[in-house]
Structure 1
Amino acid sequence: MSAILMAAALALPAASSAGGAGLTPAPAGTRAMWLWGDQPAAEVVEWAKQRKVSEIFVHVMPDVLTNGDLERLQEMKARAVPLKIKLRALGGDPAWLTDPAAALAWQRAVVTTGVFSGIHLDVEPYVTPGWTTNLTGTQTAFLKLLDKLRTGSTLPLEADVPFWYGEYKYGRANFADEVLRRVNAVTVMSYRDFATGPNSMTAVSQDWLARGKAAGKRVRLGAETEALPDCGHCTFAEESATRMHQELTKVDAAMRSSAAFAGIAVHRYGTWRALRP
């Protein structure tokens, strides 16, 4: 990447924010969840109501306007609005790094549905070969994708992020900071099955929380319920729903003085529902 292109990228205006001084921690018990499946709207919204979920990241296929799923999404909105539950369109494909036009087409379809109050992006550039073979180029592609989606609609843009982005530089800047400049909020994949202490949900999220406070951006923590054979301590899949609730309550308590804290998102609806009591 040339110095001129690097400078141009770093000079882009940031997504709007409330400003660091205006941030206050989310109330205890603030919850969101990812919904990757096509479960019935009534079932999903009722579960969200029972679990006091105030935001649902609803996966939307690129062909949503023609694949027959729009009616379910419209019903979900009709059921969610009276309960003050927000629906965010969830989408992401590593291929969007090299095909941003596909991402913009997806975003246009999302806007056309009239269902969603925001975009929730789950693109993981680090799973592509380029993260190893061409790190700067891959980072640049991701940041440009965020730029295009941010300006592609008036809907606020949020992104899922690993907790370790702050370990990477981007030119003279920090990669995590550059991501934050381009989005309205982030959800950290702080996947651990304990709330506090070394290598816990709160511990691995501290870097993002500090950066979020400085940037005036909201930072939500993530909890995993899907089985992860290679990382048992990263998920509540082998734990009970009661224990997860206890640990997430501890996260709420530990975050009372963290201004950027936006609550906790649970990944994901189907496996959360399947946890033993």
Structure 2
Amino acid sequence: MQNKRGFHFIKIISCLVLIAGVTFSSKTIAQGSVESYESIHGNVEGPIRASWVWDTTQIEKNPQEVLKFAVDHDINTIYLQINRDVKIPYYTDFIRKARAYNIAVDVMDGRAAWGLTESREQIASFLDWIEAYQDSVEPNEKFAGIHLDIEPHVHPEWKTNQASVITQWQGNVQYIVDRAALMNMPVAADLPFWLDNYKIPGSTMAVSSWMIRKFDSITIMAYRDTAAAIYNVAKDELAEASQLGKTISIAVETKQSKEGDFITFYEEGSAYMESQLKLVEKLAAEHSSFKGFSIHEYTSWKTLKE
């Protein structure tokens, strides 16, 4: 873990070797217009339009390509997975450039095992890294929030000891949101739309209901390829979040899926996807919780046929 002096030293070096700007002919956006990361996180004017960047080495190899894609596709939020092999100057440089285009960058991570108490040390390390980073960089180089993708339902113990996994998951979520509050960072999480079929042990409350209450925002993985189906699987969470004053981003898939063609827009392409998202937006507009869409994910979306 680097101290503040180390971070500042690296930043000075990065300014010398990573100074190249980003210029996109397709759009012109005022540079340096963002004063605080809170001003552009998720609650930017208009709906959220987000995507995941799982391959963090892209901010080393092709940062301008990532940002150009974001600008061209009206993305205003990027969920960027941390990769400790990627040096700090690449993060600061990428976030600074993204922020100049009014794009928020959330730090993202998670795995199925994070639903278990035994993974608390890994989670603590993740949060320690974030805290050290946030404390050591300039305001326009900070992450705007934390985004989690835990999904313990794919862990083997979900099938053998589900009640215990849910309880452990609750404990880890509480730990994360408490730590995030101390850092003054909002926390969002990916949840499958069917999580309302499962109950908190010893309670009649659905697991999804508990999670909506705990997180600042939820991304509902409504992985279907028609507007009606997408809205139908997300509408219950949208209604509940509206009552609780929370926000929901509806996520759709662009990767090829072994579960069936109806899961993803991989077969139909980007034009059809955009037409369906417009229809979903009309259907979801009645819910105050609806804040836009998250498209999974950058690499597959980029290669989606036109």
TM-score class, shorter-chain normalisation, is 0.7 to 0.9
> What SS class does the counterpart of residue 32 from structure 1 fall into?
strand
Residues 107-126 of structure 1, C-alpha deviations (whole Å, 9 max, x = no match): 22123223311110000111
**Alpha-carbon spacing, 1:93–1:210, altered in 2? closer, same or farther (3 Å):** same
Q: How does 1:1-277 map to 2 (within 5 A)?
A: 27=46, 30-37=48-55, 38-39=57-58, 40-61=62-83, 64=84, 67-96=85-114, 97=116, 98-114=118-134, 115-153=142-180, 154=183, 155-170=185-200, 171-172=202-203, 173-196=205-228, 200-277=229-306
Structure 2 letter corresponding to 1:212: A
Residues 137-163 of structure 1, C-alpha deviations (whole Å, 9 max, x = no match): 100111111111111132111110000
Determine which structure has greater relative contact order: mean sequence separation of CA pairs < 8 Å that are 6+ residues apart, divided by chain length: 1
Structure 1 letter corresponding to 2:66: V
Q: In 2, are the aligned partners of 1:60 and 1:110 still within 8 Å (CA)?
A: no
Q: State the Cα distance separating 1:238 from its structure 2 match.
A: 1.1
Structure 2 distance, partners of 1:95, 1:230, is 22
Aligned residues: 245
> What SS class does the counterpart of residue 222 from structure 1 fall into?
strand
Structure 2 letter corresponding to 1:213: S
Quote the residue 2:24 is aligned against.
Answer: none
Identity %: 27
Structure 2 distance, partners of 1:230, 1:158, is 26
Structure 2 distance, partners of 1:156, 1:150, is 8
Q: State the Cα distance separating 1:68 from its structure 2 match.
A: 3.4
Q: In 2, are the aligned partners of 1:143 and 1:182 still within 8 Å (CA)?
A: no
Structure 2 residues not aligned, in runs of 5+: 1-42, 135-141
Q: State the Cα distance separating 1:101 from its structure 2 match.
A: 1.5
TM-score (norm 1): 0.84
Q: In 1, are the aligned partners of 2:254 and 2:301 still within 8 Å (CA)?
A: yes
Structure 1 residues not aligned, in runs of 5+: 1-23
> What SS class does the counterpart of residue 164 from structure 1 fall into?
helix
TM-score (norm 2): 0.77
Structure 2 letter corresponding to 1:159: A
Structure 2 distance, partners of 1:111, 1:273, is 32
Q: State the Cα distance separating 1:183 from its structure 2 match.
A: 0.8
Q: In 2, are the aligned partners of 1:41 and 1:73 still within 8 Å (CA)?
A: no
Q: State the Cα distance separating 1:70 from its structure 2 match.
A: 2.3
Q: State the Cα distance separating 1:105 from its structure 2 match.
A: 0.7
Q: State the Cα distance separating 1:27 from its structure 2 match.
A: 4.0
> What SS class does the counterpart of residue 264 from structure 1 fall into?
strand
Structure 2 distance, partners of 1:88, 1:71, is 16
Q: State the Cα distance separating 1:169 from its structure 2 match.
A: 1.3
Residues 35-82 of structure 1, C-alpha deviations (whole Å, 9 max, x = no match): 111222221111111111111000112xx2xx2332222121111111
Structure 2 letter corresponding to 1:100: R
Structure 1 distance, partners of 2:213, 2:279, is 30
Q: In 1, are the aligned partners of 2:241 and 2:248 still within 8 Å (CA)?
A: yes
Residues 201-248 of structure 1, C-alpha deviations (whole Å, 9 max, x = no match): 111001111121122110110010011022211101111211111111
Rg larger for: 2
Q: State the Cα distance separating 1:94 from its structure 2 match.
A: 1.9
Q: In 2, are the aligned partners of 1:41 and 1:75 still within 8 Å (CA)?
A: no
What's the Cα RMSD here? 1.6
Structure 1 distance, partners of 2:67, 2:254, is 19
Q: In 2, are the aligned partners of 1:157 and 1:183 still within 8 Å (CA)?
A: yes
